[in-house]
A and B are shown apart, each in its own frame.
Chain A
């Protein structure tokens, strides 16, 4: 079951630069998308979400872009900080089912 895919298991960027994390989905019923950050031995922490009626949502340093035709979303972090180093999960749900379907995660390392 690969309904939500994060094809890059890891990403390294320099402090102050932009981090771009990508996510693809196959289920056209998904209409709500979320990004979570996870540190070791902690639960996922909600970062930002986007509804399928939008193509962009911004919150401080975090921006999520949604391309419905390509079934693709991305998370931009600008500027990246060392404290952003964590595993980032993309998740999706459809309006009728509350369960979240997660991607496999991308380990982001921000180098000082």
Chain B
């Protein structure tokens, strides 16, 4: 069964460093998303991406964040200068159809620890 994959599973970085989290969405999906979950808190939406551009983003997704689909399979989230409060699980998701009847399928997540 097709699945969303994410690498690395755990990333440790120092405050102020740049990190890139990688995702391979399900191959025939057209919509891609990043969510995060800070320990003990809810899963929060960051950004959605369709047709090589951002379609929606939350208030969390500020200028320190960017997304890219550098080739036909990868989808990346870059944090330019990490802060302690960026420590969280980051989940990539993908879906096939826009509209009210599709489901988003999530990857296993990347645990980001900023020290």
Residues of A within 8 A of B (CB): 31-32, 34, 36, 41-46, 49, 51-52, 89, 91, 93, 95, 97-105
Contact = CB atoms under 8 A, between A and B. Distances in A.
A98 B42 contact: no
A70 B4 CA distance: 35
B105 A46 contact: yes
Contacts, number: 62
B31 interface: yes
Nearest to A99: B45
A104 B42 contact: yes
Given A31-B100, A100-B35, A102-B44, 10 more contacts: A34-B104, A43-B4, A45-B106, A46-B106, A91-B43, A98-B33, A98-B55, A99-B58, A102-B42, A104-B42
Interface of B: 4, 6, 31, 33, 35, 41-45, 48, 55-56, 58, 91, 93, 95, 98-101, 103-109
Nearest to B106: A43
A104 B41 CA distance: 7
